[in-house]
Structure 1
Amino acid sequence: MTPHISKRSTLAIATAVAAGALLTAGMTTGASAQPDTARAAAPAPAAATAPLSASARADLLQGAEDKAAATADRIGLGAKEKLVVRDVVKDRDGTTHTRYERTYAGLPVLGGDLVVHTAKDGSVKGVSKATKAAIKVASTDAKLAPKSVAAAAKSTAAKTGDTAKADPRAPRKVVWAADGKPTLAYETVVTGVQKDGTPSELHVITDAATGKKLYQHQAIETGTGNSQYSGKVTVGSVKSGSTFQLTDSGRGNHKTLDLNHGSSGGKLYTDADDVWGTGKPSNTQTAAVDAAYGAGLTWDYYKNVHGRSGIKGDGKGATSRVHYGNAYVNAFWQDSCFCMTYGDGEGNAKPLTSIDVAAHEMTHGVTSATGNMEYSGESGGLNEATSDIFAAAVEFKANNALDKGDYLVGEKIDINGDGTPLRYMDKPSKDGSSLDYWSSNAGNVDVHYSSGIANHFFYLLSEGSGKKTINGVAYDSPTKDGSKVTGIGRDKAEKIWFKALTSYFTSTTNYAQARKDTVKAASDLYGANSAEAKAVAAAWTGVNVK
């Protein structure tokens, strides 16, 4: 999804990797963070996600791939449909949730993704589908030529006002099933550069018979060292010959690169004495320290709290790139390079590398690998909110003395120029644009503003309504109907959202479905009649999702 950071808009910070406990391996020293000692950890519920090693996950994926045809038959798919395995998570009680893409007559089905929930004994407990429609089209022969479709897609990109230059790739034939009746279509990816300097990967879906544009979405998701925002921290490095490299071998070999104000490539940071940066933006290593630290925290968070090893759950680290462009006021996650990229902000003095920005960006990658909610309409708001939710979770878990956890987004990077944060989770409308509550118009609002509904839900679920002060920040969270919501604590709220994201959300999930899925997740974890499940329902009602 496209980052959306400017003085007139909210932050689109993308996927992060995870924070919490210290990991060490070889020459690597993990990003340091004070432990969360608020209370002793309770035993994990049977439905909680079980940690999976890379090899165990690979075995589950291979097993699912081997049985894909049989699974398609078991869940009643048509003869022309096939399943392609994309992800798998396993609960502590042995239940697996296997995520699939679908094909029809060999064509990708966009909006056809589904999750099969299988009990330990192999029986199918249920299926979560992005569409309930039967996948079928009259013919797979397109009336339009790919060349004309590409030209139309390029024109569409120009009309959006987002793309300064455009280069359409060869369209691919697909079945569009994300909205209404399945339709034979073309998907064209128009690459280029957006007007603010952000790379562009605009996906345009075109009816293969009429040439009508059916949908479009932007795929770029806007997102011992001395750091600028977190003080003196520990970052992962390895020694190579007589120099040190900013490669974190304890976290999947995550690398931090210097773009040197360019827009591609990048050079791996090296240092003679393994002391990185000065804490000042004038030193080019300082932004790298913040980026590497935030990536390490995010990795640790997902691994230690949710049992997920890396963004894709495969134990592989991503890449962080700093000093993108000149005075670029944004940050973004890009699946195509499995990397997160940071600008240096106004005057190249405020790099967008704070903990919550890093976690937000890398969480876009986690979302892409799991629920993959389309970055448009209500699903886009949920996508963006997921990054805000886990950005807050990572920041709280890190418990850094100079950047305490809060329910504010981007409070350190001063995008607005007046010291105010980009977003507020307790009352999102305080930023002047975000939505506090759901309405029928929510799907027509920019995703960085419609995300406020889920952000507000998460705050209410965690902390409850009314006034509260946490880590020195005063909050006052209202509800649409004036009801009082009692929070269940952030720890439980995080686990419920992660469970819903990885086990139930699909590409087309909207707010009404998110309510059902999070109630289901809470019921799985804590019981159908539990206080937690009831609190989830109450918090959604509080933001007018009924």
Structure 2
Amino acid sequence: MRIATTSARKNSLRAAALVASAAMVVVGVQTGSASASGDKGHGGQALALSAGQRASLIKNAQGGASSTAAKIGLGGKEKLVVRDVIKDADGTVHTRYERTYDGLPVLGGDLIVHEKKSGARSVDKATDAKIAVPSTSASVAPSAARKSALGVAADAKSTKTDGKAPHKVIWAADGKPVLAYDTLVTGVQKDGTPSKLHVITDANTGKRLFQDETIESGTGTSTYSGKVDITTTQNDSGYELNDGARGGHKTYDLNQGTDGQGALFTNDSDVWGGGRQSAAVDAHYGAAVTWDFYKNVLGRTGIRGDGQAAYSRVHYGSGYVNAFWDDDCFCMTYGDGEGDSHPLTSLDVAAHEMSHGVTAATANLRYSGESGGLNEATSDIFGTAAEFYANNPADPGDYLIGEQIDINGDGTPLRYMDKPSKDGRSKDYWSSSLGNVDVHFSSGPANHFYYLLSEGSGSKTIGGVSYNSPTYNNSKLAGIGRDKATKIWYKALTTYFTSSTNYKAARAATLKATADLYGSSSAEYKAVGDTWTAINVK
């Protein structure tokens, strides 16, 4: 694959980026990001804040955190730490906080304070339990917690494990808060994916309470994007894969290694592709499309919303058939597939995995149970939306997940959004046992919700692909369009979801988001409610 990006084109791109940036500041101050979304007439659309404006709001919110804690009824030992601030066009401010208790982090204690311009205030909490423990002195020694965590990692088939020193936390994600240890165990999973496993153990009984693998991995393929334009940077000796128009995203070559950042891709000319460069071009392109999708469709600049880019690493390991997002390095990593001959660098992989970063920076949905399914569905939803946004004839948008990689060996995709159960493992509808299903399959009902809300039920052909989507209650749904469905899910994720959001709470959150964007008496609001009912979430 040959990729041509001329210096003249890059100059025009930079000029366009400056104009767009200047225009966004004006839009952010005057009308919010309505122009980016195409939605007007409702004040619930978030303003497109510059990195400086966002940082200023966060600083001001942290300065008033003690007062806010008192106003919302927190105890004297509790403190609030600001994670993010969103301001809507109507003046409503949504401030996302983490909590501490007596200086200890409260896991599952996150909350969002919504304050209208009038001063009216409401709160969404990950837990309604009162945060209090009899004592912060532990009966179990840290060494015992570490040993227990290493045993959990061994059971999970992680190798070369190293348990870091446990630290005390308050575990509040499952009912009554308890004093606990959080132990990070690092190593390698069975398939070669790095492992960063957090194991939570009761600090007084030693009982394991929870475990969470923070390396969120997926699958994909390479070189399906055809001939594309990429943005590079000229240096003294040639060019490098450094996208100055998108926060300085860089693409590195790990050269089959598994540690470190790798070597930045460079080239004598600005024509890229062939050999080891093809995977790098795909990764660089995928990152650019994902950046543009979030900025131009959803008004979000960068994964964390701060204008800073992540980076990509390709050629990870030997025969590694996967790709993963790591929030610690704030980077995306791709393996080369079976025999190191099929790099997993497709667009849908890039958008899916980097969307895990967006989830981590916002709701931070716990990667377990129903919240874990919603986490995975969020990446499928935005990966699908980004694929449609790219409008690339070499990889047309569709509601099939991983349709190009043929991981099943028979040409079928990994997942189907119109009828998730067609993969043989995913669930079409919510049930009380959904939380016990692997998160990649408990994502099914939320993926189904997104398809139904976008396109409606029944048999149809979209972009040459045939779909036939059923409903739990045999209702007939028309759909409101993919763009609106995408914006509703994003608004709910960034403004109302918490770390413990389950399907019932997701219904409430998306209805709030729809009311903000389109009004509570709108056709969109009714459609959202009807669509949740159609997947058995009432």
Does residue 237 of the first structure (1) align with residue 232 of the second (2)?
yes
Instruction: Give the match for residue 111 of structure 2.
Output: 114
Does residue 135 of the first structure (1) align with residue 131 of the second (2)?
yes
Instruction: Give the match for residue 275 of structure 1.
Output: 271
CA drift at 1:49? 1.7
Partners of 2:177 and 2:382 lie apart in 1 by: 34
Q: Which amino acid aligns with 1:92?
A: A
Instruction: Give the match for residue 173 of structure 2.
Output: 178
Q: Deviations over 1:314-345 (max 9, x none)?
A: 00000111111112111110011000111112
* TM-score, normalised relative to structure 1: 0.91
Partners of 1:404 and 1:153 lie apart in 2 by: 44
Instruction: Give the match for residue 432 of structure 1.
Output: 424
Partners of 1:23 and 1:192 lie apart in 2 by: 45
Q: Does the 8 A contact of 2:42 with 2:519 survive in 1?
A: no
Q: Which amino acid aligns with 1:439?
A: S
Q: Deviations over 1:420-466 (max 9, x none)?
A: 21111000111111111111110000000000110000000000000
Partners of 2:427 and 2:474 lie apart in 1 by: 16
Instruction: Give the match for residue 261 of structure 1.
Output: 256
Ranges in structure 2 where 5+ consecutive residues have no aligned partner: 1-10, 19-36
Does residue 25 of the first structure (1) align with residue 22 of the second (2)?
no
Q: Which amino acid aligns with 1:157?
A: A
Instruction: Give the match for residue 398 of structure 2.
Output: 406
Q: Which amino acid aligns with 1:103?
A: T
Q: Deviations over 1:50-84 (max 9, x none)?
A: 11101000001101111111111111111000000
Partners of 1:350 and 1:432 lie apart in 2 by: 26
Of 212, 227, 231 in structure 2, the residue corresponding to residue 217 of structure 1 is: 212
Which SS does the other structure have where 1:366 is aligned? Answer: helix
Q: Which amino acid aligns with 1:91?
A: D
Instruction: Give the match for residue 148 of structure 2.
Output: 152
CA RMSD of aligned residues (A): 1.6
Q: Which amino acid aligns with 2:487?
A: K
Of 160, 168, 174 in structure 2, the residue corresponding to residue 165 of structure 1 is: 160
* TM-score, normalised relative to structure 2: 0.92
Using a 3 Å threshold, how does the CA distance of structure 1 residues 486 and 252 change in structure 2: closer, same or farther?
Answer: same
CA drift at 1:26? 7.1
Using a 3 Å threshold, how does the CA distance of structure 1 residues 124 and 151 change in structure 2: closer, same or farther?
Answer: farther
Partners of 1:501 and 1:396 lie apart in 2 by: 20
Q: Does the 8 A contact of 2:182 with 2:200 survive in 1?
A: yes
Instruction: Give the match for residue 317 of structure 2.
Output: 325
Q: Does the 8 A contact of 1:233 with 1:293 survive in 2?
A: yes
Instruction: Give the match for residue 509 of structure 1.
Output: 501
Q: Does the 8 A contact of 1:28 with 1:237 survive in 2?
A: no
CA drift at 1:124? 4.2
Q: Deviations over 1:165-189 (max 9, x none)?
A: 2100111100000011000000001
Partners of 1:495 and 1:394 lie apart in 2 by: 12
Q: Does the 8 A contact of 1:28 with 1:236 survive in 2?
A: no
Q: Does the 8 A contact of 2:62 with 2:82 survive in 1?
A: yes
Partners of 1:461 and 1:26 lie apart in 2 by: 38
Does residue 49 of the first structure (1) align with residue 38 of the second (2)?
no
Instruction: Give the match for residue 482 of structure 2.
Output: 490
Q: Deviations over 1:335-363 (max 9, x none)?
A: 11000111112232322211111000000
Using a 3 Å threshold, how does the CA distance of structure 1 residues 378 and 23 change in structure 2: closer, same or farther?
Answer: farther
Q: Deviations over 1:453-483 (max 9, x none)?
A: 1000000000000011111111000011211
- Please give the residue correspondences for 1:30-109 in structure 2 after superposition, counting only pairs within 5 Å: 41-43=38-40, 45-109=42-106
Instruction: Give the match for residue 33 of structure 1.
Output: none
Instruction: Give the match for residue 122 of structure 2.
Output: 126
Which SS does the other structure have where 1:102 is aligned? Answer: strand
Q: Deviations over 1:67-123 (max 9, x none)?
A: 1111111111110000001112221222121110000000000000001112234x2
The runs of at least 4 consecutive aligned structure 1 residues that moved more than 4 Å come to 26-29
Q: Which amino acid aligns with 2:166?
A: P
Q: Deviations over 1:402-422 (max 9, x none)?
A: 111100111122222222211
Instruction: Give the match for residue 358 of structure 1.
Output: 350
Partners of 2:89 and 2:270 lie apart in 1 by: 40
Which SS does the other structure have where 1:372 is aligned? Answer: coil
Which SS does the other structure have where 2:234 is aligned? Answer: strand
Of 462, 465, 471 in structure 2, the residue corresponding to residue 473 of structure 1 is: 465
Q: Which amino acid aligns with 1:89?
A: I
Partners of 1:182 and 1:504 lie apart in 2 by: 22
Partners of 1:25 and 1:84 lie apart in 2 by: 37
Q: Does the 8 A contact of 1:114 with 1:127 survive in 2?
A: yes
Instruction: Give the match for residue 24 of structure 2.
Output: none
Using a 3 Å threshold, how does the CA distance of structure 1 residues 44 and 267 change in structure 2: closer, same or farther?
Answer: farther
CA drift at 1:23? 9.2
Using a 3 Å threshold, how does the CA distance of structure 1 residues 26 and 530 change in structure 2: closer, same or farther?
Answer: closer
Q: Does the 8 A contact of 1:329 with 1:415 survive in 2?
A: no
CA drift at 1:41? 3.6
Instruction: Give the match for residue 395 of structure 1.
Output: 387
Q: Does the 8 A contact of 2:39 with 2:517 survive in 1?
A: no
CA drift at 1:523? 1.1
Partners of 2:273 and 2:302 lie apart in 1 by: 26
CA drift at 1:392? 0.5
Which SS does the other structure have where 2:348 is aligned? Answer: helix
Q: Percent identity?
A: 64
Which has the bigger relative contact order, CA under 8 A and spacing at least 6? Answer: 1
Q: How many residue pairs were aligned?
A: 506
Does residue 336 of the first structure (1) align with residue 356 of the second (2)?
no
Partners of 1:360 and 1:23 lie apart in 2 by: 29
Partners of 1:44 and 1:255 lie apart in 2 by: 39
Q: Does the 8 A contact of 1:28 with 1:249 survive in 2?
A: no
Instruction: Give the match for residue 418 of structure 1.
Output: 410
CA drift at 1:275? 1.0
Q: Which amino acid aligns with 2:244?
A: S
Q: Which amino acid aligns with 1:388?
A: D
Instruction: Give the match for residue 338 of structure 2.
Output: 346
Q: Which amino acid aligns with 2:14?
A: A
As a proportion of its length, which structure holds more helix? 2
Q: Which amino acid aligns with 1:466?
A: G
Partners of 1:159 and 1:345 lie apart in 2 by: 26
- Please give the residue correspondences for 1:247-258 in structure 2 after superposition, counting only pairs within 5 Å: 247-258=242-253
Does residue 445 of the first structure (1) align with residue 440 of the second (2)?
no
Partners of 1:347 and 1:392 lie apart in 2 by: 28
